[in-house]
Amino acid sequence: MTITIDTHAAIQDLEAAGADPTLAEAIVKTVSQADAQLATKVDLTALRADLQATIVSLGRRLIGYLVAAVLIVLGAIRYL
């Protein structure tokens, strides 16, 4: 998702607020570039689904390990 910024107007607003022209341009440039790194709602939804699938997978694996451990203990008890 791209946010459209009127960079010229933003620079003018910053200068009107007392910012040096070079500083105003640097701020607007930084904000414009940072937009590409923002996560969208779709990105977060996909990440959430992936994390939920991973949690389910880990839960199943843990149950398998617990069953194996119980069977080993029961087998060991049998030979006592």
- Encode pLDDT of 37-51 as tens digits: 788 899 999 999 999
Residues 32 and 46 in one domain: no
Residues 80 and 43 in one domain: yes
The whole-angstrom separation of Cα 18 and Cα 55 is 51
Instruction: For 19-53, give the secondary structure using H, E and C.
Output: CCHHHHHHHHHHHHHHHHHCCCHHHHHHHHHHHHH
Q: Tell which residue, 52, 33, 65, has the closest CA to residue 25.
A: 33
Report the number of distinct structural domains present in the chain.
Answer: 2
User: Can you tell me the mean pLDDT for 52-57?
Assistant: 97
Structural domain including 63 reads 39-80
Residues 2 and 27 in one domain: yes
Residues 28 and 6 in one domain: yes
Residues 24 and 9 in one domain: yes
Look at residue 6 and tell me whether its pLDDT is greater than 70. Answer: yes
Q: Mind listing the pLDDT tens digit for each residue in 14-38? A: 999 999 999 999 999 988 887 777 8
